[in-house]
Amino acid sequence: MKHILIIGATGQIGSELTMALRKRYGNTNVVAGYIPGAEPKGELKESGPAAIVDVTNGEMIASVVKEYHIDTVYNLAALLSVVAESKPKLAWKIGIDGLWNVLEVAREQGCAVFTPSSIGSFGASTPHTKTPQDTIQRPRTMYGVTKVTTELLSDYYFNKYGVDTRAVRFPGIISNVTPPGGGTTDYAVDIYYSAVKGEKFVCPIKEGTLMDMMYMPDALNALYEKTVPEPLREYLDSKAAPAAVKPKRTVKPAAPKPQSSEPKPAAVKEGN
Q: Which of the residues 74, 143, 157, 187 is marked catalytic? A: 143
Residue 35 CA: distances (Å) to CA of 3, 11, 38, 260 = 20, 11, 6, 67
Burial label for 80, CB within 10 Å (0-12, 13-18, 19+), is buried
User: Going by DSSP bridges, is the β-strand pair 4-7/30-34 parallel, antiparallel, or unpaired?
Assistant: parallel
Q: Rounded to whole angstroms, how far apart are CA atoms 78 and 146? A: 9
Query: Is 143 a residue of the active site?
Result: yes
- Distance from C-alpha of 193 to C-alpha of 197, rounded to nearest angstrom: 6
Chain-centre distance for alpha carbon 54 = 19
The candidate with the shortest Cα–Cα distance to 19, out of 39, 2, 44, 40, is 44
Which residues, at least 6 apart from 75, have a Cβ–Cβ distance to it below 8 Å? 7, 8, 55, 98, 99, 102, 113, 114, 115
Which residues form the catalytic set?
A: 143
